[in-house]
Amino acid sequence: MTPFGARLSEAVSAYGPLCAGIDPHASLLADWGLTDDVAGLETFASTVVEALAGEVAVVKPQSAFFERHGAAGVAVLERTIQDARAAGLLVLLDVKRGDIGSTAAAYADAYLDAASPMQVDAVTVSPYLGFGSLEPFLATAERNGGGVFVLALTSNPEGPEVQHARIGERTVAGAMLDHLRERNAEASPQGSYGAVVGATVGELTEDVDINGPLLIPGFGAQGGTVADLRRLFGPVWEHVLPASSRGILAAGPDVASLRRAARAVRDELA
């Protein structure tokens, strides 16, 4: 099975470095004239998949906005994942899971195992139970050609409390990046284990050259610009995957308008 890192490189070569969010906020549902219920959720998600197929490399559903609608909302998420992958999109599920032992393994099986109806191409995870706690995710991803994105330097203002704390000579974030660099060593064109690094971190003091993808939230509506991306990540641009949600989704519900918005962001990044 082709590893996720190689599949991501191929998709970015074809469609450009853009990860488009599928974030059905209650406010966005209202802006689209949809009800804040499962019916509105399904219409929203299916419209976004229809609009973005063949336009972007990756879509990133935010699991929480589906889960808030209960079991029926999770069923919509499952269908959205399946429809997006069938349409040729890579699916990065934003779940930020983190646990230990058999519980971590169960989460990994739910999202990364080929036997799961919710299998995606990659997931986000939290390493703050220790990087070793992620081993079930990394192992399941490797067996199934999947990817894992590890929180490292996030765009929220509370992040530095943990991420900038020091372990000897290294910060916690630096330690996470070192682990990822080791995991991705020798992979070509890039490894399958990525880091989440915010576009609004200010000055970048860590080495983010991990030979793996860098998911960059905080771009677009959250304040990060293309100039910020180039300044922070220029030396590793081939690994950069900026994420944009509201900047694209605000153009809905018209499919053609969503496509134009995605193309505009894609062209700006190019």
Please calculate the CA angle 227-229-231 and round it to the nearest 5 degrees: 70
CA torsion angle 77 79 80 82 (round to 10)? 120
Catalytic sites, residue numbers: 96
Q: How many CA atoms lie within 13 A of 79 on its CB side?
A: 17
Contact partners, residue 251, CB within 8 Å, separation at least 6: 257, 258, 260, 261
Q: Which two tokens stand for residue 119?
A: 């299998």
> Residue 80 in contact with residue 45, Cβ under 8 Å?
yes
